[in-house]
Amino acid sequence: MAIKDNAAARLLGILVTAGVLLAPRAASANVSHTTGAVAGVQCDIWTWTDSHDKKRTVALKMEGKGNPGHGGYAVRMTYYRRYYYGPTGPAASWQKITVDAAAEGGGGFGYFVSHERYRYFSDGKVDTIAGKIFQKDDSPLGKDFPATRSILLDTAAVGAESFLIDYGHYGTTTPWAVDPNTGEDSPLLPTTASSFAFYTMPVTTTWVFEAGRDFPRIDIAVDLSQAIPTGQTVPSAGLVSFDVRGPYGVMIFDDGKDGVIDTAIWGDETNLFTTSVAPVTRSSPWDWSASNTGARYNALITGATGLKHGRFEMGLFEPVPAYLTSALTDGYAAERSYTNTSYAMAGGVSNDACLSQDQQTLPSDGDWPYQSVQYSLPCPPTHNFLTTPTIGKKIAWGSSSYYGSELTETYNGFESLPIDAFPTNDRLDYSVCLVLAWDTNYPPVVPAPTATQANAALYTEANANPPNSDCATATAP
């Protein structure tokens, strides 16, 4: 229950400081909660008025209530954006945009996913403990776990709801070191099942909705208090080793059109990335060289190659400055700080995650700091797979895979940065803001910052808590 108490305390802090830190709300701004059927399932339905005094909604699937599978994630979201008819036509028309869960196994948004780190075994194999020793999935979808729901706040100003699942990972029964120079297990891991155990890691995901704000905030808390070595009584680093990919999911965010992905962008701890030709394919040129002076973010854009009046966007950003302030540390990427041209000139080679490991122009699929389109793009034997786009709209957060370990810093391919791999309070906490937006520039302004980029850029080391940020709160999580 400590996680829930922490979330409630954080929300109370929002209410106390809101009058000082937040921009003025529209006179009619409010938050309301009800329940009902959405997309064929019973949901908690949150409605609030945004910065334009227009209604936005998020429908969160409930556990049980006759619903198939489990709950704890969004199945529909709606918002209103201005619709421009042309450069001289009316510009005051508002259109309702509906964002539905994709009809696939990963459909929905906001659930937790985490991957075990690939480990180095004494027989020379490199694999996850779950896969090699127990023939289990090392990264199950959080939506497949029973979820305990709790309404934390339901006021006229702020609403919040949390979902608790018993996630978990395999690890060693005793603390195991990592060679800081190679990232390999030291010594190499044994291959006997008795050397390993499964550790429950309860995860609480809290949605926060605030009147007058466009974007909800999603708080994640990963409880490591049950990572206890065999024969001991207190939690310890060095047993499990994992990344975080929650919030995670696939939503058709372009109002049901389900068009191809035109642009993939992100900002990690140190650098900014964008594909530079639409649509995205494995042959797309890219630029990962610019420094990130704002917050971390991840976003997808669709509509630029097929929609006359704007581009649909879905993104995430962390409401704190990235460099040395982000709650999470990035993983390694050889391509970080390069462009596709400069990387090739330096002798770099990128590979896809297809079984054939073909070379591609995009950064290697496993090097992306966030889950994005890399695993949705086609593989052989698809004809012209290197130049074929995708409609896959998976998006998620991301981190290094050394959480739970004893490491104190990691190398991201560009520089070494500190990592709080096993927090002293035995819990990993972080927050992101969920962006749904529509670029309504007419004619389109290219290049132009997206809503995700523009909001992330507000958070700098000199201005860590911008008063007019467009998330649920301007305070650091």
Give, for 4, the enclosing helix (H) or strand (E): helix 2-21
Q: Nearest CA to 255 among 372, 81, 120?
A: 81
Instruction: Note whether 160 and 11 are within 8 A (CB).
Output: yes
Q: Which domain holds residue 419?
A: 2-456
% helix, strand, coil for the chain, step of 5: 10, 35, 55
**Letter for the amino acid at 82?**
R
Q: Which two tokens stand for residue 268?
A: 């990690």
Q: What is the pLDDT of residue 223?
A: 98
Q: What is the pLDDT of residue 311?
A: 82
In a domain, 185, yes or no: yes
Bond prior to 381 in cis (omega within 30° of 0): yes
**Letter for the amino acid at 115?**
H
**Letter for the amino acid at 429?**
D
In a domain, 465, yes or no: no
- Which DSSP category does 204 fall into? E
Sequence-separated (6 or more) residues with CB below 8 Å from residue 66: 42
- In total, how many domains does the chain have? 1
Bond prior to 229 in cis (omega within 30° of 0): no
In a domain, 477, yes or no: no
Q: CA angle, 381 as apex, 376 and 383 as ends, to 5°?
A: 85
Give CA–CA dist 209/190, Å, rounded. Answer: 48
**Overall pTM surpassing 0.85 (yes/no):** yes
Q: What is the largest CA-CA distance in the chain?
A: 74
Q: Which two tokens stand for residue 92?
A: 């005051």
Q: What is the pLDDT of residue 26?
A: 47
Q: What is the pLDDT of residue 1?
A: 33
In a domain, 150, yes or no: yes
- Which DSSP category does 363 fall into? P
In a domain, 74, yes or no: yes
pLDDT tens string, the chain, 477 residues long: the values are 334 445 444 444 433 333 323 344 444 569 999 999 999 999 999 999 999 899 999 999 999 999 999 999 999 999 998 776 555 555 567 889 999 999 999 999 999 999 999 999 999 999 999 999 999 999 999 999 999 999 998 888 899 999 999 999 999 999 999 999 899 999 999 999 999 999 999 999 999 999 999 999 999 999 999 999 999 999 999 999 999 999 999 999 999 999 999 999 999 999 999 999 989 999 999 999 999 999 999 999 998 655 455 689 999 999 999 988 999 999 999 999 999 999 999 999 999 999 888 899 999 999 999 999 999 999 998 889 999 999 999 999 999 999 999 999 999 999 999 999 999 999 999 999 999 998 755 555 555 678 999 999 999 988 888 887 888 764 433
